[in-house]
Amino acid sequence: MSKKKKAATIIPSSRPGRAAAHGELVNKGVHVFVDDQNLFWGLLNAGKSRNYRIDFGRLLINAAKDSQGNTRFVKSAYIAGVIPDDDSFWTVAEKQGFKVMRGYLSGSPGHQRSKQDDAYLVTEITSTLYEQDGPSTIVLVAGDADYVPPLLKAGEKGWRTEVAFIDRGLSSALEAVVHEFRTMNSASIELLSK
């Protein structure tokens, strides 16, 4: 008999970034942007096996929490990658009623798709800054320097910027454009046995 894993309740650790102060926020909601390939490679570099699977619903809930572990309302979510139809993400989206934007789903495998996903993610962050009520909060689930330009633009427009990631793979280039870094424990976002 296999034992079911229990969901871990882990409050993420946090530390401040060096971004200039943000403006007065118009709401307590968050816009979450996930680079799933960047996160997956970070997990592999942190010692997880290739069999490790992300539960995007759990990831979204954890990314949306503040540094004290309080839940914040998700205004929109963009996942650069493929979310399985049976993932808990869809239940969370339906219950909260936020706008879901999906990544580029080309038939070409590998690096080309990854770079296209990154470009779409950057485009969606920028669109959010100009099309949504703000200033509000951007939560990026990625650790690479590709996201400095849109986060810099977010700061210029008075938005709060946060990065929620694991303890490996954060680019030091993000320091100057992020208000807060939160470390998510890999157990808190892992797909649990059913």
The closest alpha carbon to 53, from 81, 93, 95, 78, belongs to: 81
Reported pTM = 0.84
Long-range contacts of 151-157 (CB under 8 A, 24+ apart): 151/19, 151/125, 151/177, 151/178, 152/177, 153/126, 153/129, 154/125, 154/129, 155/19, 155/20, 155/22, 157/23, 157/129
| pLDDT band, very low/low/confident/very high, at 113 (cuts 50, 70, 90) | low
Where is pLDDT greater, at 157 or 103? 157
Does residue 5 have a pLDDT over 70? no
Does residue 111 have a pLDDT over 60? no
Q: How confident is the model at residue 46, as a pLDDT?
A: 86
Please provide the distance, in angstroms rounded to a whole number, between the alpha carbons at the two ends of the chain: 13
Looking at residues 132-146, what average pLDDT do you find?
95
Q: How confident is the model at residue 3, as a pLDDT?
A: 45
Architecture of domain 30-188: 3-Layer(aba) Sandwich (3.40)
12 close to 183: Cβ distance less than 8 angstroms:
yes
56-60, 63-67, 82-86, 115-119: which is most confident: 63-67
Looking at residues 163-182, what average pLDDT do you find?
93
Report the relative pairing of strands 160-165 and 137-141 from DSSP bridges: parallel
Does residue 85 have a pLDDT over 50? yes
Domain boundaries, the chain: 30-188
| pLDDT band, very low/low/confident/very high, at 167 (cuts 50, 70, 90) | confident
Range of lowest pLDDT (18-32, 46-60, 131-145): 46-60
Q: How confident is the model at residue 110, as a pLDDT?
A: 47
Q: How confident is the model at residue 12, as a pLDDT?
A: 57
